[in-house]
């Protein structure tokens, strides 16, 4: 039912966006000249992570003589809005499409439309559960989440109860960052009890409220893992508002709020991706697809664990964004 609803909504997307999308997620152009147009539809727009992806894409487009548009819904829960945006971008008949799916099933009819229009699709960040994309530009999210699990386990001495606040259970990134964490804990941390994952949609307020509920129900909680920027900021706020002391928080992504939390000791550390590189690699892959050049099925981008001990390392600094 939900997928049919979103597919039906996509038919009216151009009108809907003309009326309201500019104020809810933005639609900006980058690059220059009359080069090929690459439309990019992300999972969000307001988080600093997506702004860094956008900057990387625009820089690469400018260097290669291409043009880009970059849109994303107001929050990472707005599947219907993303479907509308995807429809609107396809109406522009771009030479290539970059897409980070919030819900692959909801987007499936539009991906088929892109294929029928001979528009190559490059999946990025969370990937797309489909064989239509010519490649996927993304972090190995399972491996990155496993790294977060390892550091959280070390921080709490391999014993105790931990919780997860995950951004969603529909995107590949949400599922992989959940499953990579759970799998590592199950295989390597017999002394740690992992509570069932809770989903906050990457929304700071919702993630904060979830965190306070978890703490209230589990006074013996030792640690919390948050799977993206919005989730992590929400967890930090939730812990602060609860007044709970001594909790070990491990996050994902960066942004000023997480960097500040690590520097002042509120957060033990986090995994950072390299969003600028994701944007660059996305545009580079799209241009190769336009020119019918071969591409691997997957282009892995880097990730790093960072904490107080290495946050000023030049390699880490290059991957952080504020």
Query: pLDDT digit string (tens) for 294-305?
Result: 999 999 999 999
- Please give the average per-residue pLDDT across 230-248, as a whole number: 97
**For residue 214, what are the CA distances in angstroms to 113, 161, 220, 279?**
43, 11, 10, 35
Does pLDDT of 236 surpass 60? yes
Instruction: Tell me the percentage of the chain whose pLDDT exceeds 90.
Output: 82
Q: How confident is the model at residue 27 (pLDDT cuts 50, 70, 90)?
A: low
Does pLDDT of 86 surpass 60? yes
Q: Which two tokens stand for residue 214?
A: 């978890």
pTM of the predicted structure, to 2 decimals: 0.80
CA quadruple 73, 78, 79, 82: dihedral, nearest 10: -20
Nearest to 214 by CA among 244, 179, 191, 169: 244
> What's the pLDDT score for residue 232?
97
The number of beta carbons lying within 10 Å of the beta carbon of residue 91 is 13
For the chain, where are the alpha helices, taking DSSP H only?
A: 2-11, 13-20, 48-64, 79-90, 104-116, 141-155, 172-188, 204-217, 229-242, 256-263, 275-290, 314-319
Does pLDDT of 259 surpass 80? yes
- Please give the average per-residue pLDDT across 234-242, as a whole number: 98
């Amino acid at each position: 039912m939900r997928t049919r609803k979103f597919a039906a909504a996509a038919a009216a997307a151009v009108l809907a966006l003309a009326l309201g999308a500019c104020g809810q997620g933005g639609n900006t152009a980058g690059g220059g000249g009359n080069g090929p147009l690459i439309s990019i539809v992300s999972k969000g727009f307001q988080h600093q992570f997506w702004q860094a992806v956008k900057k990387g894409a625009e820089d690469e487009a400018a260097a290669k003589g291409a043009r880009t548009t970059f849109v994303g819904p107001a929050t990472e829960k707005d599947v219907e809005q993303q479907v509308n945006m995807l429809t609107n971008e396809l109406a522009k008949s771009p030479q290539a499409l970059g897409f980070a799916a919030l819900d692959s099933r909801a987007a499936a009819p539009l991906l088929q439309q892109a294929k029928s229009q001979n528009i190559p699709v490059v999946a990025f960040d969370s990937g797309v559960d489909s064989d239509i994309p010519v490649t996927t530009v993304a972090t190995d999210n399972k491996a990155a989440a496993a790294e977060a699990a390892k550091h959280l386990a070390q921080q709490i001495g391999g014993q105790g109860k931990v919780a997860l606040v995950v951004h969603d259970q529909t995107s590949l990134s949400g599922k992989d960052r959940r499953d990579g964490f759970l799998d590592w804990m199950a295989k390597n941390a017999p002394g740690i009890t992992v509570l069932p994952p809770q989903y906050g949609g990457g929304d700071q307020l919702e993630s904060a409220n979830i965190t306070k509920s978890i703490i209230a129900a589990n006074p013996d909680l030792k640690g919390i893992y948050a799977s993206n920027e919005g989730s992590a900021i929400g967890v930090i706020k939730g812990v602060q508002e609860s007044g709970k002391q001594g909790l070990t928080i491990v996050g994902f992504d960066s942004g000023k709020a997480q960097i500040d939390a690590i520097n002042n000791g509120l957060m033990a550390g986090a995994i950072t991706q390299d969003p600028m590189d994701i944007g660059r690699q996305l545009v580079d892959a799209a241009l190769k697809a336009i020119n019918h050049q071969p591409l691997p099925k997957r282009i892995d981008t880097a990730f790093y664990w960072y904490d107080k001990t290495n946050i000023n390392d030049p390699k880490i600094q290059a991957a952080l964004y504020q």
